[in-house]
């Protein structure tokens, strides 16, 4: 079923009060730059976009023209300064913490039936779905305050040139702007009404517009996929996303590993990055020592490095399911945070 973006419902008095206690929603970001209607290049890009997507050119020009350059978006997309070490412990502490765990247990209890059905139908564990939604938006408490049109136009037309992948990312965000306009036009949604992340991600699961189109599903049976207000649709859509990225039911996400310095060939093990490439026996031969369960694993594996600032890095062995989580966000740190938050919420449920 086609995904239908829906404007978030206004918070009720009681909901607003609860959010203030836990995570006060960020104030809307005021656009700082000029209207894109003043930019000849943006208007030419709007015409080309309209032709590609078979949209009304006047409507596309009007929508793009009302967007504004937002410096906060450009700043947010800029990577940290070169030389700043990654730190798994610091990253983990942002997500594996009491507020998210408590909110996750509440979310799981309220949506147990949908989570169980999604797991039956896709094989994706409830803990992974709960972990994703918790890491992304604290179960809908923080879905972003940037106007989507401002964010996508800023990144499509003014992506920071100093970024090492500026040309590639500019093309990507132009395609997401096209996907967003096509989606909102098809479903009768005002493109200027929706707010989300600085990168243009939407709703509780923070789907990009193209992902909404491809993977969002109507899981509550009301005839539309609503990733702002329907927890069931969010759960079904996240599980459907991983199903489309070949999630394998029953397979662990990762295994522990010990490194044997006497035979360790770390450059070879790290060469494929986190793409599962090695058999269990290959890893053993290259100095990555596995436990009994990992040695019995039949599929390809990858050595995953998690840097700890100035301390020694941590390592795990990732499976194809670990790699599937990184298709949601291309970061092994993200994947581990999703996995461990889900595990901690599951423990809280048992209590």
Catalytic positions: 136
Half-sphere exposure of 77 (CA within 13 A, CB side): 27
- As a whole number of angstroms, the longest Cα–Cα distance in the chain is 67
First-to-final CA distance of the chain: 38
CA dihedral 139, 140, 142, 145 (to 10 degrees): 160
Gap between the Cα atoms of 14 and 26, Å rounded: 18
**Torsions phi, psi for 217 (to 5 deg):** -130, 160
Q: Where are the alpha helices (DSSP H) in the chain?
A: 13-22, 40-53, 57-65, 71-77, 88-95, 98-110, 112-122, 126-137, 148-157, 166-187, 209-215, 231-244, 266-270, 280-285, 292-295, 320-326, 332-350
290 pairs with which residues across the strands? 257
Cα-based distances in Å from 318 to 57, 59, 211, 239, 304? 47, 47, 24, 19, 6
What does the block give as tokens for 53?
């997507």
Gap between the Cα atoms of 174 and 159, Å rounded: 10
């Amino acid at each position: 079923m086609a995904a239908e973006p829906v404007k978030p419902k206004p918070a009720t008095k009681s909901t607003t009060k609860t959010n203030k206690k836990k995570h006060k929603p960020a104030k809307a970001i005021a656009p700082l730059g000029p209207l894109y209607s003043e930019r000849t290049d943006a208007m030419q890009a709007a015409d080309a976009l309209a032709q590609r997507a078979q949209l009304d050119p006047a409507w596309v020009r009007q929508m793009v023209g009302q967007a504004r350059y937002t410096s906060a978006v450009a700043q947010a997309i800029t990577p940290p300064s070169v030389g700043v070490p990654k730190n798994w412990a610091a990253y983990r502490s942002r997500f594996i913490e009491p507020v998210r765990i408590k909110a996750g247990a509440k979310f799981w209890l309220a949506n147990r039936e949908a989570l169980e059905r999604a797991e039956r139908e896709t094989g994706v564990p409830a803990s992974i779905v709960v972990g994703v939604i918790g890491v992304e938006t604290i179960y809908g408490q923080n879905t972003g305050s940037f106007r989507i049109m401002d964010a996508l136009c800023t990144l499509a037309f003014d992506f920071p040139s100093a970024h090492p992948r500026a040309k590639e990312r500019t093309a990507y965000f132009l395609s997401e702007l096209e996907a967003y306009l096509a989606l909102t036009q098809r479903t009768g949604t005002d493109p200027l009404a929706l707010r989300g992340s600085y990168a243009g991600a939407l709703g509780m699961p923070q789907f990009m517009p193209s992902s909404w189109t491809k993977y969002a599903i109507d899981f509550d049976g009301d005839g539309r996929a609503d990733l702002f207000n329907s927890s069931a649709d969010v759960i079904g859509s996240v599980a459907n996303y991983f199903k489309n990225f070949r999630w394998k039911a029953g397979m662990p996400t990762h295994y522990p590993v010990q490194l044997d310095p006497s035979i360790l060939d770390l450059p070879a093990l790290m060469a494929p990055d986190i793409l599962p490439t090695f058999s269990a026996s290959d890893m053993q031969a290259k100095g990555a020592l596995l436990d009994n369960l990992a040695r019995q694993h039949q599929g390809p594996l990858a050595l995953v490095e998690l840097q700890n600032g100035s301390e020694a890095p941590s390592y795990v062995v990732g499976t194809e399911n670990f790699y599937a989580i990184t298709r949601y966000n291309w970061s092994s740190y993200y994947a581990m945070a999703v996995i461990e938050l889900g595990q901690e919420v599951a423990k809280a449920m048992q209590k």
